[in-house]
Amino acid sequence: MRRRSNFIFVIIGIHLFLDVYTYFGLRSLIADARYHKIFTILYLCSSAFVYYCLYQFYQGIQEGSMFRGAHLNFYVGAILTSLVSRIFFVGFLSLQDGGRFLIGVYNWISSMGGEKPELTYFPSRRKFLTAGAAFLGAVPLFSMIYGISKGKYNFKVNTIKLAFKDLPKSFNGFKIVQISDIHAGSIDNKEEFERGIAMVNAQKPDLIVFTGDMINSRKEELDPWIESLAKLSANYGKFAVTGNHDYYGLYEIDKEEEKDAYMQAFFDKFPQMGFQLLNNAHEKITVGEESISLVGVENWGKARWSPKHGDIDKAMSGLEEDAFTVMLTHDPTHWDEQILPHKKHVHLSMCGHTHGYQFGIKMPGFKWSPAQYAYPRWMGLYEEDSQYLYVNTGFGFLAFPGRVGMWPEISVFELSTV
């Protein structure tokens, strides 16, 4: 707890420095001194709002309620938007100021030799460069405002066509729709959320799978959305696994029997939504006289802090050796650490977890996000040893209440035989 509090104080210190720097930088763009007072009042009001958000976020940390409601996400969004836009502005402006400083030092040294600068040691800022810094800061500012107001519900359907030599012929054209990371505690617009649900159903899925993080930290977050999620419909059923956030409610419980009761109460909500939980288990999906195996593993992640409830051996126990296998997991690190090395060949694994950090760039032939520095496999399709992994960037959002570039995803897998 103390470490988290210290982190907040560091953020406040950084923001204060950026705030002062940004204030004087922007004020230098106002030529008419009569407007300086108006600008100062408006700037101080906007800064005061950000510090209020920082205070509320600090209170949330102290109370242990960081990710429990949309209001805390709003505070995080305001803080991040302010920080990122100021970092861009100050970063560019400091390049100019660094040059001014070097020129000033040169002029000062020259004056010691008898040469005097024409006006002053340090040249004034170039207005067009300062304006350029302001424009650069405005890009993330307005991008993040869009991400908060519109982007978080800008659902995108991504179709992935995969062909397999050993896919049973009855499954040629079989359609699996994957969603992940709903984070029910963050949802703040029922109409938009249900529009996303309708988009899933519009794909006419044979199978719907959910790959973890139904909630942020408390099972009660799911209650207002059970009816909405029950509207999801697929020809051969709906299946789900758990993610790391689905276990965070356990951290507030001391007794083991109470922990078991808490998780069972959470698991009992899935049938109410029409989902079958695959907690380290597998299920046969049968079309005609042929079948494939759908395997589900509870959360398992490589990171030290990640809950490790997954048991891949238990989940695949009793599987036929030559069964065509689809694996549902949550964390992409599970694929490299346990699925790829496993003796059983898993044709296709689906996961989520990364969210693409809800910020990045995706275009044909190029993708970038800060997520790639934390997760080698962070978005999209990967193949190794004739096995596939798909990382879905998530249906919902967490902490930052928006998405910029990394839009909420509905993944549609169309299977075919070679």
Residue 299, C-beta contacts closer than 8 angstroms, at least 6 positions apart: 212, 241, 242, 243, 244, 246, 247, 306, 307, 308, 309, 310, 330, 331
Q: What pLDDT, in 10s, does the model give residues 321-357?
A: 899 999 999 999 999 999 999 999 999 999 999 999 9
- State phi, psi for 236 to the nearest 5 degrees: -115, 20
* Domain architecture of the chain: domains with CATH: 2-148 (no CATH), 151-417 (3.60.21.10)
Question: Any bridge partners for residue 384, and if so which?
Answer: 387
Residue given tokens 């302001």 in the structure block: 134
- CA-to-CA distance for 155 and 24, rounded, in angstroms? 40
Q: What pLDDT, in 10s, does the model give residues 251-283?
A: 889 899 999 999 999 999 999 999 999 999 999
Stretch 399-412: mean pLDDT: 96
Stretch 215-243: mean pLDDT: 97
3-state helix, strand, coil in the chain (%, to 5): 50, 20, 35
Stretch 144-150: mean pLDDT: 95
- CA-to-CA distance for 226 and 266, rounded, in angstroms? 12
Q: Is residue 407 within 8 Å of 379, Cβ to Cβ?
A: no
State the pLDDT at residue 59: 83
Q: What pLDDT, in 10s, does the model give residues 164-198?
A: 999 999 999 999 999 999 999 999 999 999 999 99
Give the count of alpha carbons within 13 A of 403, CB side only: 26
Stretch 297-308: mean pLDDT: 95
The larger pLDDT score, comparing residue 215 to residue 72, is at: 215
Residue 114 pLDDT exceeds 60: no
State the pLDDT at residue 409: 98
The proportion of the chain whose per-residue pLDDT surpasses 70, expressed as a percent, equals: 91
